[in-house]
């Protein structure tokens, strides 16, 4: 026993041996600091969850963008319709159309709240009918109604009932349309679409929460022995829950950011396509119904809000699920056995 020890001391002087011991202790401390996380940061379940969250975020952002587009378009329609009223004069035997148009414009222009009364001339009327009847129309040979466009002050609209009463004896063939029926229908449609879109958005967020619950339980099932050992040796529930919360927050934010970015790319593409095809009949009809497919700044802000909300919901749901599971362990094993 003494001879090997003597040989060891000869080969390794005490000072050098102490230095090696200190270096070994430092390496051990560094190794202990780099403890593995409870939830593996890169695994198949995490990537699948991020992919599912990306899909749900993409659909949620598309829904939010569609609701924003419908709401903005309906608002534009409402403002445009509310700014104008129309006097329509139907052809009749013995009716001097030009005189009737001038009389209707004069009567409408004398009301307070009317900014202008413009007669739609023959060329403009022919252009309105050109998509259906073709070019080269002679308006005087067809029983085509003529229009007077009345531009009104939205803050101080005229008395349409009084205008109708004054038009009736002067121009019996005239009909005043203030578009109030169309405005009411547009408002009702916009509210219905917004409500439906909000309901779909809530359902998607609920599905995301349920997906995170099952994914968290799956992750805990794969690390059940670690969780129970940590819990029984005295690790605080908040520490264990924080590990899962951090993991799922990062996973949720990655998936939500990818889905939100994909939705923004779709919005930009449709806006670009709409701007490139403004002259085509299809684009004109689509623009008349939905505008130019351009999402406002509020729409893009809503996409960012949806991404943040899904990330927060993912972290909060995982935290609540882990805490509930640990409480169940305490109930089933009150003595820590």
Higher pLDDT, 202 or 295: 202
Give 166's Cβ-side CA count (13 Å radius): 16
- At residue 143, the pLDDT reads 81
d(CA 205, CA 133): 50
pLDDT of residue 288: 56
Rounded to whole angstroms, the maximal C-alpha distance in the chain is: 138
Paired tokens of 130: 């050109």
**Is 34 exposed, middle or buried, given 0-12, 13-18 or 19+ CB atoms closer than 10 A?**
exposed
Least confident of 1-15, 24-38, 54-68, 257-271: 1-15
> What does the alpha-carbon distance between residue 27 and residue 31 come to, in Å, rounded to a whole number?
6
What the block records as the tokens of 231 is 């819990």
State whether the Cα torsion 319-40-230-328 is positive or negative.
positive
Going by pLDDT thresholds of 50, 70 and 90, the confidence category of residue 98 is: confident
Mean pLDDT value of segment 158-180: 87
pLDDT reported for residue 334: 65
Pairing mode, strands 84-89 and 114-119:
unpaired
Q: How far apart are the first and last CA of the chain?
A: 46
Altogether, the residues listed in the chain come to a count of: 337
d(Cα 160, Cα 175) in Å, to the nearest integer? Answer: 11
- Residue 141 burial (CB count, 10 A): 7
Average pLDDT of the segment spanning 106-126: 88
pLDDT at position 3 is 45
Residue 36 per-residue DSSP state: P
Structural tokens at position 269: 């593409």
Task: Report residue 9's pLDDT band, with 50, 70 and 90 as the boundaries.
Answer: very low
DSSP annotation string for 200-223: HHHHHHHHHHHHHHHHHHHHHHHT
CA distance 137 to 142: 9
CA distance 238 to 189: 48
Contact yes or no for 148/119 (Cβ under 8 A): yes
Instruction: Identify the DSSP state of 149.
Output: E
Please answer whether residues 206 and 313 qualify as being in contact, where contact means their C-beta atoms are separated by less than 8 angstroms. no
- For residue 258, pLDDT beyond 90: yes
pLDDT at res. 278: 60
Gap between the Cα atoms of 226 and 37, Å rounded:
10
Q: What is the pLDDT of residues 59-70, one digit of tens each?
A: 888 888 888 887
Q: What pLDDT does residue 4 have?
A: 46
Alpha carbon distance 247, 57 (integer Å): 18
pLDDT exceeds 80 at position 147: yes
Q: In 134-177, where does DSSP find H-type helix? A: 160-170
| Mean pLDDT of the residues in the chain | 76
């Amino acid at each position: 026993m003494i001879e090997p020890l003597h040989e060891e001391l000869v080969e390794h002087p005490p000072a050098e041996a102490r230095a090696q011991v200190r270096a070994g202790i430092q390496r051990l401390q560094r190794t202990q600091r780099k403890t593995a996380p409870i939830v593996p940061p890169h695994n198949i379940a995490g990537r699948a969850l991020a992919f599912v969250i990306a899909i749900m975020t993409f659909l949620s952002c598309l829904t939010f963008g569609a609701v924003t587009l419908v709401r903005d378009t309906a608002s534009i329609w409402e403002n445009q319709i509310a700014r104008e009223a129309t006097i329509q004069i139907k052809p009749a035997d013995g009716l001097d159309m030009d005189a009737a148009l001038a009389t209707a414009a004069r009567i409408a222009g004398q009301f307070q709240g009317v900014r202008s009364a413009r007669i739609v001339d023959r060329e403009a009327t022919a252009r309105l009918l050109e998509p259906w009847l073709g070019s080269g129309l002679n308006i005087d040979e067809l029983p085509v109604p003529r229009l007077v466009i009345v531009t009104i002050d939205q803050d101080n609209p005229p008395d349409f009932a009084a205008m109708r009463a004054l038009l009736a004896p002067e121009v019996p063939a005239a009909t005043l349309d203030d578009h109030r029926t169309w405005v009411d229908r547009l408002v009702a449609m916009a509210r219905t679409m917004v409500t439906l879109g909000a309901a779909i958005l809530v359902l998607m967020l609920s599905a995301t929460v349920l997906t995170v619950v099952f994914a968290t339980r799956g992750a805990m099932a794969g690390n059940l022995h670690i969780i129970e050992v940590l819990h029984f040796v005295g690790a605080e529930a908040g520490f264990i829950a924080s590990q899962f919360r951090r993991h799922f927050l990062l996973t949720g934010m990655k998936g939500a950011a990818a889905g939100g970015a994909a939705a923004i790319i779709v919005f930009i593409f449709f806006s670009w396509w709409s701007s490139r095809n403004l002259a085509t009949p299809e684009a004109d009809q689509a623009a008349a119904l939905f505008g130019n497919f351009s999402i406002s700044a509020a729409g893009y802000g809503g996409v960012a809000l949806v991404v943040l909300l899904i990330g927060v919901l993912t972290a909060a749901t995982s935290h609540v699920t882990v805490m509930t599971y640990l409480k169940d362990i305490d109930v089933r094993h009150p003595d820590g056995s």
